[in-house]
Structure 1
Amino acid sequence: MEKKGPTEWEMRNIIMPLMLSGAKMLDRHCPKCGSPLFEKDGRVFCPVCEHREKQRKESQARELKGVEERLMEKLTELANSLPGDIDELEKHLRAMEKIIELLERYKKLEGGE
């Protein structure tokens, strides 16, 4: 559920600097969060929703990066411990193949494809 209204931090760090930059606060409010809408350079926007969306995307990117790093560690671990037994080797290679597939999916998510 979306947070309603700007927090004190958002008021101080997003809305106030925006007002000081010459953006015009409108007499309308965002239907999603209740924050005042602003106009700058002919564009009407909600600074709070834009900030929250940016934060959400950055958080998601950090999470994806962490997962990708853990997958690479596991892939390296498997590559460095290949067994001599053919059945075990096949299991290792299947696991490595799955990890590579997951890494490819994460790369696509990062690229927005």
Structure 2
Amino acid sequence: MVLSDKEIREIITPLLLSGAKMLDKHCPRCGSPLFELNGKVFCPVCEQRKKHGEVELKSVEENLIQKLNMLANTLPNDVNELRKYLEVMDMIITLLEKYKRMEGRK
């Protein structure tokens, strides 16, 4: 996720107004100025990206689970159709497992 200058200002401005101190050091990952608030030094841009990424993963995961539940609750009687449903359900479960592994690496 690439943030525009405007989005970066929208992240940084409230920090300055809340009393956070902009340091003369920059984030090695994104180059944004580091901030200090309540004794904690952090990069507000990376924090925002991390938060946004977690939200995206959660919503993807929730959508996959919802689709899986919908399929499980509407299984057809026809064997060929049932086979198709089960294949799709298997793909969804595989995707969910990948997302879980991605979460574990964070």
Shorter-chain-normalised TM-score: which range? 0.7 to 0.9
**1:102, CA displacement in angstroms?**
2.2
1:7 and 2:2 correspond: no
How large is the RMSD of aligned CA atoms in angstroms?
3.2
Structural mapping, 1:1-113, within 5 Å: 3=2, 7-11=5-9, 13-78=10-75, 81-83=76-78, 88=79, 92=82, 99=89, 102=93, 109=100
Name the TM-score, length of structure 1 as normaliser. Answer: 0.68
Unaligned runs of 5+ in 2: none
* Largest Rg, 1 or 2: 1
State the alpha-carbon separation in 2 of the partners of residues 26 and 46 from structure 1. 10
Q: What amino acid is aligned across from residue 31 of structure 2 in structure 1?
A: G
Give the length in aligned residue pairs.
Answer: 100
**1:59, CA displacement in angstroms?**
0.7
State the alpha-carbon separation in 1 of the partners of residues 4 and 36 from structure 2. 17
Q: Write out the 4+ residue segments of structure 1 that deviate beyond 3 Å after TM superposition.
A: 98-101
Name the TM-score, length of structure 2 as normaliser. Answer: 0.72
Unaligned runs of 5+ in 1: none
State the alpha-carbon separation in 2 of the partners of residues 31 and 6 from structure 1. 18
Secondary structure of 1:25 counterpart: strand
